[in-house]
Amino acid sequence: MSHTAQWNVRLHLFEDDDGTTKADVVLDTGTSALSAQGCARCHPADANVPEIGDELAAGRAMIDLAHQLLSTAERDMRGAQAPGRSVRRQPSARPV
Please indicate, yes or no, if residue 61 is contained in any of the structural domains.
yes
pLDDT value at position 96? 46
Task: Please tell me the distance from the alpha carbon of residue 60 to that of residue 22, in angstroms, as a whole number.
Answer: 10
> Would you give per-residue pLDDT tens digits along the chain (96 residues)?
899 999 999 999 999 988 899 999 999 999 999 999 999 999 889 888 999 999 999 999 999 999 999 999 999 998 887 665 665 666 655 554
Report the number of distinct structural domains present in the chain.
Answer: 1
DSSP character for 87? Answer: P
* CATH number of domain containing 53: 3.30.160.240
Residue 39's nearest CA partner among 27, 25, 49 is 25
For residue 60, the enclosing domain spans 8-77
The answer to whether residue 89 sits within a structural domain is: no
User: Is residue 23 within 8 Å of 58, Cβ to Cβ?
Assistant: yes
pLDDT the model gives residue 25: 98
Q: What are phi and psi of 19, to 5 degrees?
A: 90, 10
